[in-house]
Structure 1
């Protein structure tokens, strides 16, 4: 683990300012507490029931969120993060509660990270830190809600088509089983849809 590099900091700030404008003073204070590190493929950086004391920003690589299925007690993939995504569980990080989900990197990954203690201090000293937190939470909550509603109400073909851009990326990098879990489909169903809809392009 090392202090954040300039290129990583510029990438992070660019993404953060996609949500809101940040003051120079806040950015300078933020940079002082950020770290940068690498994770090897398949590393579990957060386990189910563990408290998330750190939030990560994915510079490069790929990660998944997984949960325990209540019926089978098997792990199921519930989310994917691509480059420039913020890796956190909710509830979990903000309330420092035991997480109901876990996080695993699926490729060798480079991340920026900040501890909860440092982020809490920033929130106490900068109003924009709290505003950014709420904007980010709202953004991810909205994306997740849309995905859950799509799985519930859309037919499988339309669900596939709505997620085609993401699926095209994932198929090259992730096992079919994990993608099928995320889509709420059987692997066989997803595989057949992929073949059929690829031919129709």
Structure 2
């Protein structure tokens, strides 16, 4: 059973992409589950098929990928409230993922199992284009992040992150944020001091 607040938040997020059939809304609710995850819990493992699609109600998560040259665990993506959590490859292709996903703080999540997602998709034709819109949205965000890593200064990336996520510095591990922003030198403090 999921809370009314969580379900409403989930629906509002979906409706930013596409209006939803009330029958789909009703059916979605029966297939969604709500769970709490402590900080540092591994939600999705490397080299496994991901059996569920997560949605963040509160808290945050990060994608961790091993750098092929250094062998270091790098934060390659972050998710926050209102985000769908999946890797590529992963949930949609059911190919083993090259990365893992873990919570960065205590989080409340909704999830749907792949079997139920497939049932919904076969029953409601509108779900496929909705899924594609959501995936396109995250693809655009990933491209923008890659361009920022290539073309922006550390200070610009730091400033943009703080504007978008003003509370993150107070609650999240600074090493994870620095890794996500591609900052390799003396940490984040030097960038906050330039304000």
- The 2-side partners of 1:16 and 1:167 are apart by 21
Tell me which residue corresponds to 1:8: 6
SS in 1 for 2:186: helix
Tell me which residue corresponds to 1:117: 115
User: Greater CA deviation, 181-190 or 102-111?
Assistant: 181-190
User: Greater CA deviation, 142-151 or 184-193?
Assistant: 184-193
2:55 corresponds to which of 57, 73, 76: 57
Deviation at 1:189, TM superposition (A): 5.1
RMSD across aligned positions (CA): 1.4
- The 2-side partners of 1:187 and 1:55 are apart by 35
SS in 2 for 1:127: coil
- The 2-side partners of 1:169 and 1:83 are apart by 12
TM-score (normalised: structure 1) = 0.92
- The 2-side partners of 1:111 and 1:189 are apart by 30
Checking the alignment, whether the CA contact within 8 Å between 2:48 and 2:97 is kept in structure 1 is: yes
Deviation at 1:57, TM superposition (A): 0.9
Checking the alignment, whether the CA contact within 8 Å between 2:36 and 2:109 is kept in structure 1 is: yes
Checking the alignment, whether the CA contact within 8 Å between 2:174 and 2:187 is kept in structure 1 is: no
Q: How many residues align?
A: 195
Deviation at 1:131, TM superposition (A): 1.1
SS in 1 for 2:145: helix
Report 1:1-201 matches (<5 A): 3-166=1-164, 168-188=166-186, 190-197=188-195
- The 1-side partners of 2:30 and 2:163 are apart by 36
Q: 1:163 to 1:106 in 2, by over 3 A?
A: closer
Question: Structure 1 regions of 5+ residues with no counterpart?
Answer: none
